[in-house]
Amino acid sequence: MELPPAQDVMRLLGGYMVTQALGVVVDSGLADRVGDEPVPLEVLAGHTGIPAPQLARLLRALRTVGVFDTGPDGVVHTDTSRLLCRDARASVAPFVDIHTDRGYAAWADLLVALREGGSAFERQRGMPMFEWLSSHPDEGARFNEAMAAGSRQRREVLLARDWSGSTSVVDIGGGTGTNLLAVLEAHPHLTGAVLDLPSVREQALALMATSPAGDRCGFVAGSFFDEVPVADTYVMAVVLHDWDDEQALRILRSCRRAAPDGARLLVVETVLADGEGWDWAPWMDLHMLVMLGGRERTEAEWRRLLQDGGWDVEAAGPRLLECRAQRETP
Ligand SMILES: C[S@@+](CC[C@H](N)C(=O)[O-])C[C@H]1O[C@@H](n2cnc3c(N)ncnc32)[C@H](O)[C@@H]1O
C-alpha cells in the first residue's frame, strides 16, 4: 500500500528505530523462540526477559513492518521474521549483530564521511576496521560469521563457473573459507588456499577441519598488500569494495605480480546499475564509505580499475567479473 508522503517520510525517518528493534529481536532470542505454531506472549516474555506488556508494544511496532504476526493464540513467524532466527537457512542474524552496533554507530558520522571522504569508523575508533577487528577477537569472529552467513549468493556465483581449466585456486581475503571449500568440494581435482589476515586463521582452520575438501585447502596468513601465493585461478569476493581505488589497485597489482601469464581472476562483487525502486546496493556503497572508505562500482568503474590493476575483463555480469592476467610487457 502506497503511503501519503507525510507518512512515508516518517516511515523512512524511523529506519533507525527498526534497526534497533531488529537488534532486540535477535539479541534477546525472540526470533529463535517463535515458531510456526503460535507461542503465547507470556512464554516469550519468560524466554526473553522482556515483561509481557512491554513485549506486546515491541510486537505491535514490528508488525507494521512485517516482522512477526500476533493472533489470539500467540505470536507466529512471517517469512521475514523467520530469517532473524540464528539457525534459519539464509539467516541474517549475524548481519543484524554487526549492523546494530558498529555499523549503527559509524553511520552517525555519515555527513563527515561524505564531506571529507574516508571511513567514519576509523575516525571514531582510531584505527581502520580490519585492524580493529584483529585486535578485538570476539568482534572479529562475529564479523567472520556474518561474512560466512552472507556468502551463499557468492558461492552460487562461483559454483556456476566452469572450473575444468583450473588446478589451483587462491581465495584472496577469503575469510574463513566458506566460498573456497564449496568450490573444492564440488571439484575434487582442485587444490586451494585462503589468503587472509592472521587473526582469521583459527576460525578458518576449524571450518576446514569439518569439510570433506579440508585436506586440499590451506590457509596463508598474511596481507594481500604484501604478497599473494601463486595459483592459476584467483578469487576475490567482496574484497575490493572494502577499499578506495588506490588501495584496490595495490591489491590487484600484488595479485598480478604473483599470477602466472594466463591466470584467471574471478571478482565477485556487486555491479551498480541504475534501477527503479528500492535497492540494497547503493546503500552498501555508502556503508562501505562509512565503515572502510571503500565503495561499490559500476561496470565501467570496475573495468577501468581491473584494467589498471593488470587484469583484462573477459566477461562482466551483475555479480561477477571474469578477468585474465594481462601479458607482461616485454
Ligand atoms: C568483506 S570480507 C569478505 C570475505 C569473503 N571473501 C566472503 O566472500 O565472505 C573481506 C575479507 O578481507 C580480509 N582482509 C582485510 N584486510 C586484509 C589484508 N590486508 N590481507 C588479507 N586479507 C584481508 C578480511 O579479514 C575479510 O576476511
Question: What residues contact residue 78 under an 8 Å CB cut-off, 6+ apart?
Answer: 66, 67, 68, 69
Q: Is the CB of residue 293 less than 8 Å from the CB of residue 243?
A: yes
Band of pLDDT at residue 329, cut at 50, 70 and 90: low
**What's the grid cell of residue 279?**
535497492
Ligand 1 and 239: CB distance under 6 A: yes
Q: Rounded to 5 degrees, what angle do the CA atoms 63, 284, 242 make?
A: 145
Fold agreement (5-82, 151-325): no
Q: Is 241 a catalytic residue?
A: yes
Q: What is the pLDDT of residues 223-265, one digit of tens each?
A: 999 999 999 999 999 999 999 999 999 999 999 999 999 999 9
Average pLDDT over residues 308-317: 97
Question: Grid coordinates representing 274?
Answer: 541504475
CATH topology classification for 5-82: Arc Repressor Mutant, subunit A (1.10.10)
Nearest Cα residue to 76 out of 92, 63, 89: 63
| DSSP class of 56 | H
Output the nine-digit C-alpha cell for 166. Answer: 583450473
The pLDDT mean for the chain works out to 96
Task: Pick the residue whose CA is nearest to atom 13 on ligand 1.
Answer: 173
pLDDT tens string 137-193: 999 999 999 999 889 899 999 999 999 999 999 999 999 999 999 999 999 999 999
CATH topology of domain 151-325: Rossmann fold (3.40.50)
Residue 126 dihedral angles phi and psi, to the nearest 5°:
80, 5
For residues 8 and 276, the model is more confident at 8
pLDDT digits (tens, 9 = 90+) for 95-144: 999 999 889 999 999 999 999 999 999 999 999 999 999 999 999 999 99
Q: Where are the domains of the chain?
A: 5-82, 93-146, 151-325
Residue 330: per-residue pLDDT: 44
Distance 261 CA to ligand 1 centre (A): 25
pLDDT of residue 90: 87
| pLDDT beyond 60 at 273 | yes
- Give the pLDDT confidence score for residue 260 in this predicted structure: 96
**pLDDT > 80? residue 328:** no
Ligand 1 close to Cβ of residue 119 (< 6 A): no
Distance CA 219, CA 47 (A): 40
What is the pTM assigned to this prediction? Answer: 0.94
User: Which run of H or E residues covers position 235?
Assistant: strand 233-237
